Amino acid sequence: MHITLKEAAAKMLEAENLVITTHVNPDGDALGSSLALYQMLVRLGKNVEVLIDDDIPESFGFLPDIEAIQKPEKESYPADYLIMLDVSKDRIGQVLNKCQAPIINIDHHRTNDGEADFLYLDAEKAATAEIIYQLAQELAVTPDSAVALCIYTGLSTDTGNFRFSNTSAFTLRAAADMVEAGAQPHVVSEALEKRSFKEVLDRAKAMETIEMAMEGRVAGIFIDNALYETLDTTEGFIDGVRIIDGVDVAVLMKEVEPGKCRVSMRSKGVDVSVIATEYGGGYCHHLHHTPIHSATHERRLQEECRLQRFSQEDRVSVARCHLRPQR
Protein backbone atom coordinates (compact mmCIF):
# COMPACT_ATOMS: atom_id res chain seq x y z
CA MET A 1 0.00 0.00 0.00
CA HIS A 2 1.11 3.57 -0.66
CA ILE A 3 1.99 5.62 2.39
CA THR A 4 3.15 9.16 3.03
CA LEU A 5 6.69 9.98 4.04
CA LYS A 6 5.38 11.02 7.46
CA GLU A 7 3.81 7.57 7.84
CA ALA A 8 7.04 5.90 6.80
CA ALA A 9 8.93 7.93 9.40
CA ALA A 10 6.37 7.00 12.07
CA LYS A 11 6.86 3.29 11.37
CA MET A 12 10.63 3.67 11.70
CA LEU A 13 10.27 5.62 14.93
CA GLU A 14 8.03 2.97 16.50
CA ALA A 15 10.43 0.14 15.56
CA GLU A 16 13.44 -1.11 17.51
CA ASN A 17 15.17 -3.41 15.01
CA LEU A 18 15.55 -2.40 11.38
CA VAL A 19 17.33 -3.76 8.32
CA ILE A 20 18.21 -1.45 5.42
CA THR A 21 18.95 -2.77 1.94
CA THR A 22 19.28 -1.57 -1.62
CA HIS A 23 19.88 -3.00 -5.06
CA VAL A 24 22.71 -5.23 -6.23
CA ASN A 25 25.36 -3.42 -8.24
CA PRO A 26 24.93 -0.46 -5.86
CA ASP A 27 25.60 3.08 -7.08
CA GLY A 28 26.14 6.34 -5.25
CA ASP A 29 22.46 7.00 -4.64
CA ALA A 30 21.86 3.50 -3.28
CA LEU A 31 24.88 3.62 -0.97
CA GLY A 32 24.55 7.25 0.07
CA SER A 33 20.85 6.93 0.86
CA SER A 34 21.33 3.67 2.79
CA LEU A 35 24.18 5.01 4.92
CA ALA A 36 22.49 8.35 5.58
CA LEU A 37 19.37 6.60 6.85
CA TYR A 38 21.49 4.13 8.84
CA GLN A 39 23.30 6.96 10.61
CA MET A 40 20.10 8.83 11.41
CA LEU A 41 18.35 5.76 12.82
CA VAL A 42 21.37 4.84 14.94
CA ARG A 43 21.32 8.35 16.37
CA LEU A 44 17.68 7.72 17.29
CA GLY A 45 18.73 4.66 19.29
CA LYS A 46 17.59 2.01 16.82
CA ASN A 47 19.32 -1.32 16.19
CA VAL A 48 20.12 -1.14 12.49
CA GLU A 49 21.85 -3.41 10.00
CA VAL A 50 22.69 -2.57 6.38
CA LEU A 51 22.70 -5.57 4.05
CA ILE A 52 23.65 -5.52 0.36
CA ASP A 53 23.96 -8.74 -1.59
CA ASP A 54 26.89 -7.56 -3.72
CA ASP A 55 30.39 -6.14 -3.51
CA ILE A 56 30.79 -2.45 -2.75
CA PRO A 57 32.84 -0.51 -5.34
CA GLU A 58 36.12 0.64 -3.82
CA SER A 59 35.54 4.16 -5.13
CA PHE A 60 32.89 4.65 -2.44
CA GLY A 61 35.29 3.92 0.37
CA PHE A 62 35.18 7.59 1.42
CA LEU A 63 31.56 7.30 2.63
CA PRO A 64 31.22 7.43 6.42
CA ASP A 65 30.31 4.06 7.99
CA ILE A 66 30.85 2.19 4.71
CA GLU A 67 32.22 -0.64 6.85
CA ALA A 68 28.74 -1.06 8.38
CA ILE A 69 27.49 -2.59 5.13
CA GLN A 70 27.48 -6.39 5.26
CA LYS A 71 26.56 -9.18 2.89
CA PRO A 72 23.58 -11.33 3.96
CA GLU A 73 25.65 -14.30 5.10
CA LYS A 74 23.62 -15.36 8.17
CA GLU A 75 20.60 -17.62 7.83
CA SER A 76 18.14 -14.97 8.97
CA TYR A 77 17.89 -11.35 10.09
CA PRO A 78 14.97 -10.72 12.45
CA ALA A 79 13.64 -7.17 12.22
CA ASP A 80 10.54 -5.09 12.74
CA TYR A 81 10.86 -3.74 9.19
CA LEU A 82 13.00 -4.28 6.12
CA ILE A 83 13.62 -0.88 4.55
CA MET A 84 14.31 -1.06 0.82
CA LEU A 85 15.82 2.05 -0.74
CA ASP A 86 16.10 2.96 -4.43
CA VAL A 87 14.88 -0.47 -5.54
CA SER A 88 12.04 -2.94 -5.98
CA LYS A 89 11.89 -6.38 -4.34
CA ASP A 90 13.34 -8.18 -7.34
CA ARG A 91 16.81 -6.60 -7.10
CA ILE A 92 17.89 -7.14 -3.50
CA GLY A 93 19.16 -10.70 -3.89
CA GLN A 94 19.23 -12.97 -0.85
CA VAL A 95 18.21 -10.20 1.53
CA LEU A 96 14.57 -10.77 0.54
CA ASN A 97 14.70 -14.41 1.68
CA LYS A 98 16.74 -13.83 4.82
CA CYS A 99 14.79 -10.92 6.28
CA GLN A 100 11.13 -11.89 6.50
CA ALA A 101 9.91 -8.60 7.91
CA PRO A 102 7.27 -6.22 6.55
CA ILE A 103 8.81 -4.05 3.84
CA ILE A 104 8.97 -0.27 3.79
CA ASN A 105 10.01 0.72 0.27
CA ILE A 106 11.28 4.24 -0.53
CA ASP A 107 12.07 4.87 -4.18
CA HIS A 108 12.09 7.41 -7.01
CA HIS A 109 11.93 5.04 -10.00
CA ARG A 110 8.66 5.03 -11.90
CA THR A 111 9.37 1.37 -12.77
CA ASN A 112 8.94 0.32 -9.13
CA ASP A 113 6.78 -2.82 -9.04
CA GLY A 114 4.69 -1.61 -6.08
CA GLU A 115 4.85 -4.97 -4.33
CA ALA A 116 6.19 -3.76 -0.96
CA ASP A 117 3.94 -3.80 2.08
CA PHE A 118 4.39 -0.05 2.44
CA LEU A 119 5.56 2.09 -0.48
CA TYR A 120 6.57 5.72 -0.67
CA LEU A 121 7.31 6.55 -4.31
CA ASP A 122 8.15 9.98 -5.68
CA ALA A 123 9.05 9.66 -9.36
CA GLU A 124 9.56 13.40 -9.62
CA LYS A 125 12.68 13.23 -7.50
CA ALA A 126 16.05 12.94 -9.23
CA ALA A 127 17.42 10.60 -6.57
CA THR A 128 16.29 8.62 -3.55
CA ALA A 129 18.76 10.79 -1.64
CA GLU A 130 16.35 13.70 -2.15
CA ILE A 131 13.68 11.70 -0.34
CA ILE A 132 16.10 10.79 2.47
CA TYR A 133 16.83 14.51 2.78
CA GLN A 134 13.10 15.08 3.32
CA LEU A 135 12.84 12.05 5.61
CA ALA A 136 15.41 13.60 7.96
CA GLN A 137 12.90 16.36 8.65
CA GLU A 138 10.13 13.83 9.33
CA LEU A 139 12.44 11.96 11.73
CA ALA A 140 13.37 15.27 13.39
CA VAL A 141 17.06 14.59 12.79
CA THR A 142 19.40 17.41 11.82
CA PRO A 143 21.98 16.03 9.34
CA ASP A 144 25.54 16.15 10.64
CA SER A 145 28.56 16.18 8.33
CA ALA A 146 28.47 12.38 7.86
CA VAL A 147 24.79 12.26 6.90
CA ALA A 148 25.29 15.32 4.71
CA LEU A 149 28.15 13.74 2.80
CA CYS A 150 26.13 10.58 2.15
CA ILE A 151 23.06 12.48 0.94
CA TYR A 152 25.19 14.80 -1.20
CA THR A 153 26.83 11.76 -2.81
CA GLY A 154 23.43 10.36 -3.80
CA LEU A 155 22.33 13.70 -5.20
CA SER A 156 25.54 14.17 -7.16
CA THR A 157 25.81 10.71 -8.68
CA ASP A 158 22.21 10.38 -9.84
CA THR A 159 22.29 13.79 -11.52
CA GLY A 160 25.68 13.43 -13.21
CA ASN A 161 27.20 15.91 -10.79
CA PHE A 162 24.16 18.16 -11.34
CA ARG A 163 24.59 18.16 -15.13
CA PHE A 164 21.62 15.98 -16.13
CA SER A 165 18.23 17.44 -16.93
CA ASN A 166 16.67 15.77 -13.86
CA THR A 167 18.53 18.34 -11.73
CA SER A 168 15.88 20.62 -10.24
CA ALA A 169 15.86 23.67 -8.03
CA PHE A 170 14.92 21.31 -5.18
CA THR A 171 17.99 19.17 -5.93
CA LEU A 172 20.27 22.17 -5.74
CA ARG A 173 18.66 23.48 -2.57
CA ALA A 174 19.10 20.08 -0.94
CA ALA A 175 22.73 19.96 -2.08
CA ALA A 176 23.33 23.46 -0.71
CA ASP A 177 21.84 22.46 2.64
CA MET A 178 24.13 19.42 2.76
CA VAL A 179 27.18 21.54 2.02
CA GLU A 180 26.17 23.88 4.82
CA ALA A 181 25.86 20.82 7.08
CA GLY A 182 29.43 19.80 6.30
CA ALA A 183 29.46 17.87 3.01
CA GLN A 184 32.56 18.62 0.94
CA PRO A 185 31.82 18.39 -2.81
CA HIS A 186 35.49 18.02 -3.76
CA VAL A 187 35.75 14.86 -1.64
CA VAL A 188 32.98 13.25 -3.68
CA SER A 189 34.19 14.39 -7.10
CA GLU A 190 37.83 13.49 -6.48
CA ALA A 191 36.96 10.02 -5.19
CA LEU A 192 34.54 9.17 -8.00
CA GLU A 193 36.35 10.76 -10.93
CA LYS A 194 39.80 9.27 -10.42
CA ARG A 195 40.65 6.19 -12.48
CA SER A 196 43.53 3.76 -12.39
CA PHE A 197 45.65 3.37 -15.50
CA LYS A 198 44.08 -0.06 -16.08
CA GLU A 199 40.58 1.39 -15.84
CA VAL A 200 41.46 3.96 -18.50
CA LEU A 201 42.71 1.19 -20.78
CA ASP A 202 39.62 -0.93 -20.02
CA ARG A 203 37.35 1.92 -21.04
CA ALA A 204 39.26 2.32 -24.29
CA LYS A 205 38.70 -1.38 -25.07
CA ALA A 206 34.99 -1.06 -24.32
CA MET A 207 34.66 2.00 -26.55
CA GLU A 208 35.88 -0.11 -29.48
CA THR A 209 32.63 -2.10 -29.27
CA ILE A 210 30.36 0.92 -29.85
CA GLU A 211 27.59 0.40 -32.39
CA MET A 212 25.30 3.11 -33.76
CA ALA A 213 21.68 2.72 -34.84
CA MET A 214 18.73 4.81 -36.02
CA GLU A 215 20.84 7.32 -37.89
CA GLY A 216 23.01 7.99 -34.88
CA ARG A 217 20.24 8.52 -32.34
CA VAL A 218 20.98 5.27 -30.48
CA ALA A 219 24.47 4.19 -29.43
CA GLY A 220 25.45 1.08 -27.55
CA ILE A 221 28.44 -0.59 -25.94
CA PHE A 222 28.27 -4.38 -26.17
CA ILE A 223 30.70 -6.18 -23.87
CA ASP A 224 30.89 -9.94 -24.29
CA ASN A 225 31.83 -12.23 -21.41
CA ALA A 226 35.44 -12.63 -22.53
CA LEU A 227 36.00 -8.86 -22.32
CA TYR A 228 33.85 -8.49 -19.22
CA GLU A 229 36.03 -10.93 -17.28
CA THR A 230 39.07 -8.71 -17.88
CA LEU A 231 37.42 -5.50 -16.60
CA ASP A 232 37.70 -4.17 -13.07
CA THR A 233 34.59 -2.02 -13.48
CA THR A 234 32.15 -0.70 -16.07
CA GLU A 235 31.20 2.35 -14.00
CA GLY A 236 30.78 5.39 -16.20
CA PHE A 237 31.10 3.52 -19.51
CA ILE A 238 27.58 4.45 -20.60
CA ASP A 239 28.43 8.14 -20.27
CA GLY A 240 31.09 7.64 -22.91
CA VAL A 241 28.40 7.04 -25.55
CA ARG A 242 25.76 9.35 -24.09
CA ILE A 243 27.92 12.38 -24.90
CA ILE A 244 28.15 11.55 -28.61
CA ASP A 245 26.55 14.35 -30.60
CA GLY A 246 23.07 13.40 -31.81
CA VAL A 247 22.63 10.39 -29.47
CA ASP A 248 19.27 10.30 -27.66
CA VAL A 249 19.55 6.82 -26.12
CA ALA A 250 22.71 5.20 -24.77
CA VAL A 251 22.81 1.46 -24.05
CA LEU A 252 25.34 -0.60 -22.12
CA MET A 253 25.04 -4.36 -22.44
CA LYS A 254 27.52 -6.53 -20.55
CA GLU A 255 27.52 -10.32 -20.60
CA VAL A 256 28.15 -10.96 -16.90
CA GLU A 257 27.90 -14.74 -17.41
CA PRO A 258 27.81 -16.74 -20.63
CA GLY A 259 24.36 -16.12 -22.09
CA LYS A 260 23.27 -13.77 -19.29
CA CYS A 261 23.54 -10.01 -19.67
CA ARG A 262 22.90 -6.92 -17.62
CA VAL A 263 21.59 -3.97 -19.59
CA SER A 264 21.46 -0.27 -18.70
CA MET A 265 19.88 2.52 -20.72
CA ARG A 266 20.25 6.24 -20.32
CA SER A 267 18.49 8.88 -22.37
CA LYS A 268 18.37 12.59 -22.97
CA GLY A 269 14.81 12.94 -24.22
CA VAL A 270 13.30 9.47 -24.49
CA ASP A 271 11.43 7.71 -21.70
CA VAL A 272 13.34 4.45 -21.83
CA SER A 273 11.48 3.23 -18.74
CA VAL A 274 8.52 2.60 -21.08
CA ILE A 275 10.64 -0.04 -22.80
CA ALA A 276 11.92 -1.53 -19.56
CA THR A 277 8.46 -1.67 -18.04
CA GLU A 278 7.12 -3.60 -21.02
CA TYR A 279 9.66 -6.30 -20.23
CA GLY A 280 8.94 -6.54 -16.53
CA GLY A 281 10.20 -3.29 -15.02
CA GLY A 282 13.76 -3.62 -13.78
CA TYR A 283 14.13 -7.04 -15.38
CA CYS A 284 13.39 -8.36 -18.83
CA HIS A 285 13.42 -12.12 -18.48
CA HIS A 286 11.34 -12.79 -21.58
CA LEU A 287 13.72 -11.17 -24.04
CA HIS A 288 15.47 -14.52 -24.16
CA HIS A 289 18.18 -14.57 -26.82
CA THR A 290 16.77 -11.48 -28.52
CA PRO A 291 19.48 -8.87 -29.14
CA ILE A 292 18.48 -5.46 -27.88
CA HIS A 293 19.72 -3.91 -31.09
CA SER A 294 17.61 -6.13 -33.31
CA ALA A 295 15.24 -4.64 -35.86
CA THR A 296 12.28 -5.18 -33.50
CA HIS A 297 13.84 -3.24 -30.66
CA GLU A 298 15.21 -0.62 -33.04
CA ARG A 299 11.69 0.02 -34.28
CA ARG A 300 10.46 0.22 -30.69
CA LEU A 301 13.14 2.73 -29.78
CA GLN A 302 12.40 4.69 -32.93
CA GLU A 303 8.72 4.90 -32.01
CA GLU A 304 9.57 6.05 -28.50
CA CYS A 305 12.02 8.61 -29.87
CA ARG A 306 9.27 9.92 -32.12
CA LEU A 307 6.51 10.04 -29.53
CA GLN A 308 8.32 10.77 -26.28
CA ARG A 309 10.02 14.06 -25.45
CA PHE A 310 10.62 14.01 -21.74
CA SER A 311 12.85 16.63 -20.16
CA GLN A 312 13.80 14.24 -17.37
CA GLU A 313 17.15 12.43 -17.41
CA ASP A 314 16.19 8.80 -17.13
CA ARG A 315 18.37 5.85 -16.31
CA VAL A 316 16.92 2.37 -16.18
CA SER A 317 18.90 -0.65 -15.10
CA VAL A 318 17.56 -3.83 -16.71
CA ALA A 319 19.37 -6.46 -14.71
CA ARG A 320 20.17 -10.06 -15.55
CA CYS A 321 18.42 -10.09 -18.90
CA HIS A 322 18.82 -13.32 -20.82
CA LEU A 323 20.25 -11.64 -23.88
CA ARG A 324 23.29 -12.57 -25.91
CA PRO A 325 25.29 -9.66 -27.29
CA GLN A 326 25.91 -9.74 -31.02
CA ARG A 327 29.14 -8.32 -32.36
pLDDT (tens digit, 9 = 90+) per residue, 247-257?
Answer: 989 999 999 89
Q: Residue 45: which CATH number? A: 3.90.1640.10
Whether residues 154 and 279 fall in one domain: no
Residue 235 is predicted with a pLDDT of 81
Whether residues 70 and 180 fall in one domain: yes
Alpha helices per DSSP H over 93-127: 95-98
- Please name the amino acid found at residue 30: A
Whether residues 241 and 160 fall in one domain: no
Whether residues 202 and 184 fall in one domain: no
Residue 240 is predicted with a pLDDT of 87
What values do phi and psi take at 51, rounded to 5?
A: -120, 130
- Enumerate residues 6+ apart whose C-beta is below 8 A from 74: 98
Whether residues 147 and 86 fall in one domain: yes
Residue 110 is predicted with a pLDDT of 86
User: Within a domain: residue 268?
Assistant: yes
Whether residues 95 and 118 fall in one domain: yes
Mean pLDDT over each residue of the chain, to the nearest integer: 85
Query: Of 92, 118, 88, whose CA–CA distance to 103 is shortest?
Result: 118
Q: 223-232, pLDDT tens digit by residue?
A: 999 999 999 8
Whether residues 54 and 160 fall in one domain: yes
Residue 324 is predicted with a pLDDT of 36
Whether residues 111 and 207 fall in one domain: no
Q: Which of 169, 192, 215 is the last residue of a domain?
A: 192
Residue 242 is predicted with a pLDDT of 87
Whether residues 206 and 67 fall in one domain: no
d(C-alpha 132, C-alpha 307), whole Å:
33
Q: E strand or H helix at 295, and its extent?
A: helix 295-307
User: Within a domain: residue 76?
Assistant: yes
Let me know the angle formed at the C-alpha of 86 by 112 and 154, rounded to the nearest 5 degrees.
145
Whether residues 250 and 165 fall in one domain: no
Residue 304 is predicted with a pLDDT of 47
Residues in the chain: 327
Whether residues 43 and 69 fall in one domain: yes
CA 316 to chain centre: 8
10-residue block means of pLDDT along the chain (327 residues)?
97 98 95 98 98 94 97 96 95 95 96 93 96 98 98 95 92 98 96 90 94 91 94 86 90 89 80 66 33 43 43 36 37
d(C-alpha 237, C-alpha 163), whole Å:
17
Q: Give residue 31's domain range.
A: 5-192
User: Within a domain: residue 311?
Assistant: yes
* Measured CA distances, 288 to 22, 123, 323 (Å): 26, 29, 6
Q: Which of 192, 217, 247 is the last residue of a domain?
A: 192
User: Within a domain: residue 327?
Assistant: no
Q: Which of 192, 214, 245 is the last residue of a domain?
A: 192
Q: Residue 236: which CATH number? A: 3.10.310.30
User: Within a domain: residue 326?
Assistant: no
User: Within a domain: residue 94?
Assistant: yes
Number of domains composing the chain:
2
Whether residues 186 and 207 fall in one domain: no
